[in-house]
């Protein structure tokens, strides 16, 4: 079944250029993300083919990790994606049986030094991915990354799902508010989403970073509902032999989008260690 909202059931007296530019920027950013991911994974696989020092392999086994090339790759990718790799390394060093002749803090410090040395070599030899430089870590309260994170996405499904609903609602909001006010609203929603996420994650030191346009899309939906009470959205519906453009109440699409967003958050996001 294809369910594709594409524009508000309103006459637009000018084209929403800024909305289109934001959508194109998201597409370009995802292409750059994916290209950097490929370079990262190729270099990471090459790094892990070298099995590493025997002491590192022994320490990995002691903390319950797999030192094989495949295990090394999983371990390094998780560390690279962690909001605080040092915290994760310290947590790993506290696991498992003590090394011979060491106990307590001395054991943890020694295992940490071995694990950290290998990871720091990985960081030096493997090109950094673009995505961690764009996403927003809730404990940072960094306004720049609150903005950059809305342009980054996890994959094409995540991006297309956001852009379909973004353009359907935001285009009309831009036309109704004017370009300058719309730009200020967009920036305010991006910053507000970051602040709200940070507040919701207070007391959770390992809270996942966030990326995607979802918060802005929800804000645009709310603005559309306020500006156009009872507004409807033209939607292409295709199911088997049924193909038709129908006009659907905006609140129905809000519920659909919220459901899809929740599925991404608790399904895909949980698997990827990031809030989508």
126 and 163 share one domain: no
- Cα distances from 111 to residues 74, 89, 103, 265, in angstroms, run 19, 9, 11, 34
63 lies in some domain: yes
User: What DSSP assignment string belongs to 53-88?
Assistant: -HHHHHHHHHTT---SHHHHHHHHHHHHHSS-HHHH
* Shared domain check, 144 and 29: yes
Q: What is the pLDDT of residue 269?
A: 46
* Number of residues that this document lists for the chain: 276
Shared domain for 116 and 197, answered yes or no, is no
pLDDT score for 268: 47
Give the pTM.
0.81
Kindly state the DSSP code that residue 275 receives in the 8-state scheme: B
Q: Helix axis angle, 156-177 relative to 179-200, nearest 10°?
A: 130
What is the signed CA dihedral for 17, 19, 24, 27, rounded to 10 degrees?
-170
d(CA 90, CA 131): 24
In a domain, 159, yes or no: yes
Using CB atoms within 10 Å of the CB of residue 122, give its burial: 0 to 12 exposed, 13 to 18 middle, 19+ buried.
Answer: buried
Domain span holding position 227: 2-36+135-272
* Boundary-marking domain end, from 106, 130, 154: 130
Please list the pLDDT of the chain residue by residue as tens digits (276 residues). Answer: 566 776 777 776 788 999 999 999 999 999 999 999 999 999 999 999 988 899 999 899 988 899 999 999 999 999 998 878 998 999 999 887 777 777 778 888 999 999 999 999 999 999 999 999 999 999 899 999 999 999 999 999 889 988 988 988 899 899 999 999 999 999 999 999 999 999 988 888 778 899 999 899 989 988 888 888 877 877 777 776 777 777 777 777 777 767 766 665 555 444 444 555
Residue 270: what pLDDT?
A: 44
The CATH number of whichever domain residue 24 belongs to comes to 1.20.1540
Residue 193 shares a structural domain with residue 153: yes
Distance CA 253, CA 42 (A): 41
Q: How many domains does the chain have?
A: 2
**193 and 248 in a common domain:** yes
- Give yes or no: residues 159 and 96 share one domain: no
Q: What are φ and ψ of residue 4, in 5° steps? A: -130, 95
Instruction: Determine the pLDDT at residue 249.
Output: 77
Contact by Cβ (8 Å): 75, 60: yes
- Statement to judge: residues 77 and 139 lie in one domain: no
Residues 111 and 150 in one domain: no
CA 251 → CA 2, 134, 221, 233, 241, distances in Å?
A: 19, 31, 9, 10, 27
The Cα–Cα gap between 93 and 112 comes to: 5
Same-domain status, 151 and 263 = yes
**Same domain assignment for residues 99 and 61:** yes
Residue 149 shares a structural domain with residue 252: yes
């Amino acid at each position: 079944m294809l369910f594709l909202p594409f524009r508000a059931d309103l006459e637009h007296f000018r084209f929403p250029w800024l909305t289109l530019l934001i959508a194109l920027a998201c597409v370009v950013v995802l292409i750059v993300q994916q290209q950097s991911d490929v370079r990262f994974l190729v270099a990471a696989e090459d790094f892990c083919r070298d099995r590493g020092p025997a002491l590192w392999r022994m320490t990995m086994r002691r903390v319950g990790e797999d030192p094989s090339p495949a295990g090394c790759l999983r371990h390094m990718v998780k560390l690279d994606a962690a909001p605080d790799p040092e915290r994760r390394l310290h947590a790993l060093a506290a696991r498992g049986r003590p090394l011979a002749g060491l106990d307590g803090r001395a054991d943890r410090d020694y295992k940490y030094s071995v694990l950290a040395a290998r990871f720091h070599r990985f960081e030096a030899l493997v090109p950094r991915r673009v995505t961690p430089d764009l996403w927003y870590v809730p404990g940072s309260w960094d306004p720049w990354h609150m903005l950059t994170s809305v342009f980054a996405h996890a994959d094409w499904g995540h991006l297309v799902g956001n852009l379909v609903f973004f353009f359907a609602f935001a285009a009309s909001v831009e036309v109704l508010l004017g370009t300058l006010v719309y730009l200020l609203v967009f920036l305010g929603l991006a910053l507000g989403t970051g602040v709200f996420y940070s507040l919701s994650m207070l007391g959770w030191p390992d809270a996942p970073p966030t990326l995607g346009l979802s918060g802005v899309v929800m804000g645009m939906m709310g603005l559309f509902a306020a500006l156009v009470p009872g507004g409807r959205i033209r939607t292409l519906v295709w199911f088997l032999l049924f193909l038709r453009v129908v006009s659907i109440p905006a609140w129905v699409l809000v519920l659909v989008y919220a459901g899809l967003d929740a599925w991404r958050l608790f399904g895909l996001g949980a698997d990827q260690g990031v809030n989508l």
